[in-house]
Structure 1
Amino acid sequence: MVVVLEEAIRFDVATALTKGERDFQEDSLIASFPQGQETGFAVLADGMGGHMSGDVASALVMSEVFSRIKMNEMLLDKRITDVSGILFETASAANDRITQYIEQEPASYGMGATLLATVIRGDELYWVSVGDSPLFLFRDGALTQLNQDHSMAPQIDMMVKMGAMAEEVGRDHPDRNTLTSAIAGRKIAKIDCPDAPTAVRAGDIIIAATDGLQFLSNDAIAAILEETHTKRSNDISSALLAALDDLADPDQDNTAFTVIKLGKSTLMKRPSAEHTNEPVFFRHSSALNRKSPALEAVPDTAAPMTSDAETNVAQDPIDIPTKRVIRLVTSQALDFDKPSTPAPASAPTEQTKPQASGSWYRRLRTSQD
């Protein structure tokens, strides 16, 4: 059998979870980047609903998506797999899971969550995103948000830019955090799930986060990454958490994020689809190096790192004050190996993808009695 040597990106990964100034924790996250593999993924969800089970919603969404990606993990190692199709279906499955829970527990009506799931396969980055949880790429000193923001913030910022609203009014506008799409058991208004992957390479730092991280400005996040990009992912995570603490913002939201640092690649063997007499050597085939529009202006040079790590982390139980009216359901309490419904047999078609609607979901950001 002919063997092809392929350069596989290695991962240095750290996760972080903090309650901030909230009375309870509504964020959930998990990451799986097995050592020696070219594929890894991370899932997070930001619950909404306050005392109406936002913590339960985020755990349900996170676990449903995790189980489905995990079930397809072997397929994700094959270049022919429709990764974006799998990710798209996970969002629909998570929404169905919320619907089922609300039917069983009518008092939980109004609960929901954002979703951000990322898959890295070699030099390809895929994601599915619903809501306002940001996906950042830091490359060559520049910070770029890759996914769409399904909240009113972009519209408000546009009004400020056009002069229709004062900057200070837009910054503190009460509707900034109003979601235009969420996993809430009803029709999903918007799903951001690009068909083509975004190219990544050694030296890149990827951050998948809930919007609590955005209490720091993009400039502040970029400055921290510029200062710490040569360090390990756990050092980067600690620096971000310290910066949030330094803000001492009395309204600081729950924050969860995964830092993925792409390190120096190593040559790995895989079977060749072509019958040749000699091994073929290549470094990130250009056919697989498709670039998303968000990265067209990003330079294609970066110093490789030499980092390597494996993590599979879920949120720890949080002590909940007595004012909470429903117990916390953490990721440990859920069965990750069994999705609630059978896995989809095929990728979605354009006819099955949800269309945008005018429905808005308001996140309950303050504690409620």
Structure 2
Amino acid sequence: MWRSREPRYDVASGISQGARDYQEDAITADFPVGAEAGFVVLADGMGGHAAGDVASKIVLTEVFSELKFHFADVRSFEARAPEILRNIADFANETLRQHTRSHPETEGMGATLVVPALVENRLWWISIGDSPLFLFRGGRLSQLNEDHSMAPQIDFMVKSGLMDPEVAANHPDRNCLISVLMGTRIPKIDCPTKPYELQAGDIVLCASDGVQFLTNAQIEKVLNRYRKARSTEIAERLLEDLIRLDDPDQDNISFTVIKVNDASVRSGQERPRGPSTAVARPRRLTTVAPDHLSQPLQKPAQFVTPVPAAAPVIGPARAPAPTPRLAPTPLPLPEPWVARTPRQAGQAVQESNPDPAVEDLSPVRLRPRRVTVIK
């Protein structure tokens, strides 16, 4: 059996509601310890009053359940990875269509989708919308997936000398999406036919665009400084830097940090055959709020419990809250038709390993955006 002394991946997720009134994103990371594969599902809800939070939960629930089924046999998944990922996205899109037909008041809701799926050192993904998938390698940050918004076209106009950089940075159509899951035809899908080969020391960052209130240079600086630290510390530092901005327009933030260890890229050894570990045993949840995170913020703390409860969750408060409350009860998988909840402005960092699998179902919100569908 092909085994290593270290986990193949070091994974943690960070979440924050930011300055928004509702949580309209959902994120989950599934990396069973000892398994050769894992994946992240991030859905960025949009539509505001038209139930963007419902859309993101529908997309996450459908994509997660389908992908979990296929990951029971990663060899079979890899043989048809692009086809499977596209079919899963189509299935989630069809579920949105059916929900909109039966609930006309939700007409116009939608969600972006980004799914990085890792098998050993091979990275597959599907991406629809503008949620970024970053790669940090050799001290440099780059974006792997396509940006399905107007931003690339506006930036091209700047490079061509057709638009002033300041005008481009504040252009009203900059965040206008040209592809999204809405229960209608999907104009653009980014799903490579071959996997991207990862290297030991690479850091993959799957995020909502709320993280992009930090510039790429600022994100790169954090990853450079803490590249040898655990993924939980990297996630904490990114959240701290975003909170320190104190931006009144701060979008909700959701992201997963994936550090690739030597075990994922080791060659010349026998690889495991047959199904990978699909479900690991549950264990107790420990919730901890360190002193350096619990003081300088401005709103009451909120802690997100992974499903199943497995890893420590760390949540900085946004208001003086000397005694953060524990959340010992695991949250269930989000039901597709969950109604919007009142504002709960907290943030959390959840470690996905070591020890058994972590499935973090943590809905978060992003800013409402207009959608331009190209036919």
RMSD between superposed Cα atoms in Å: 2.6
Which residue number corresponds to residue 127 of structure 1?
125
Shift of 1:260: 0.5
Shift of the 79–47 alpha-carbon distance from structure 1 to 2, 3 Å rule, reads closer
Aligned residues of 1:46 and 1:114 also touching (Cα < 8 A): yes
Shift of 1:76: 1.9
| SS in structure 2 of the partner of residue 126 of structure 1 | strand
Which residue number corresponds to residue 219 of structure 1?
217
Once the two structures are superposed, the pairs formed by residues 217-296 of structure 1 within 5 Å of their partners are 217-265=215-263, 269-270=270-271
Aligned residues of 1:32 and 1:313 also touching (Cα < 8 A): no
Which residue number corresponds to residue 44 of structure 2?
46
In terms of Rg, which structure is larger? 1
Shift of 1:57: 0.4
Equivalent position to 1:142, from 119, 140, 143: 140
Question: Are 2:106 and 1:108 equivalent residues in the alignment?
Answer: yes
Identity of aligned residues (%): 47
Which residue number corresponds to residue 85 of structure 2?
87
Shift of 1:332: 2.8
Aligned residues of 1:26 and 1:47 also touching (Cα < 8 A): yes
Question: Are 2:368 and 1:364 equivalent residues in the alignment?
Answer: yes
Structure-1 separation of matches of 2:158 and 2:199? 36
Structure-2 separation of matches of 1:96 and 1:203? 38
Which residue number corresponds to residue 333 of structure 1?
334
Aligned residues of 2:307 and 2:333 also touching (Cα < 8 A): no
| SS in structure 2 of the partner of residue 59 of structure 1 | helix
| SS in structure 2 of the partner of residue 220 of structure 1 | helix
Shift of 1:312: 6.0
Which residue number corresponds to residue 299 of structure 2?
none
Shift of 1:84: 1.6
| SS in structure 2 of the partner of residue 178 of structure 1 | coil
Shift of the 165–82 alpha-carbon distance from structure 1 to 2, 3 Å rule, reads same
Q: How many matched pairs?
A: 286
Equivalent position to 2:16, from 8, 12, 18: 18
Structure-1 separation of matches of 2:368 and 2:145? 23
| SS in structure 2 of the partner of residue 333 of structure 1 | coil
Which residue number corresponds to residue 342 of structure 2?
none
| SS in structure 2 of the partner of residue 332 of structure 1 | coil
Opposite residue 334 of structure 2, the aligned amino acid is A
Aligned residues of 2:7 and 2:34 also touching (Cα < 8 A): no
Shifted more, 76-85 versus 98-107: the winner is 76-85
Equivalent position to 1:172, from 170, 173, 195: 170
Taking structure 1 as the reference length, the TM-score comes to 0.72
Aligned residues of 1:6 and 1:269 also touching (Cα < 8 A): no
Which residue number corresponds to residue 290 of structure 2?
none
Structure-1 separation of matches of 2:167 and 2:129? 23
Aligned residues of 1:212 and 1:253 also touching (Cα < 8 A): yes
Taking structure 2 as the reference length, the TM-score comes to 0.71
| SS in structure 1 of the partner of residue 79 of structure 2 | coil
Opposite residue 72 of structure 1, the aligned amino acid is H
Shift of 1:6: 9.5
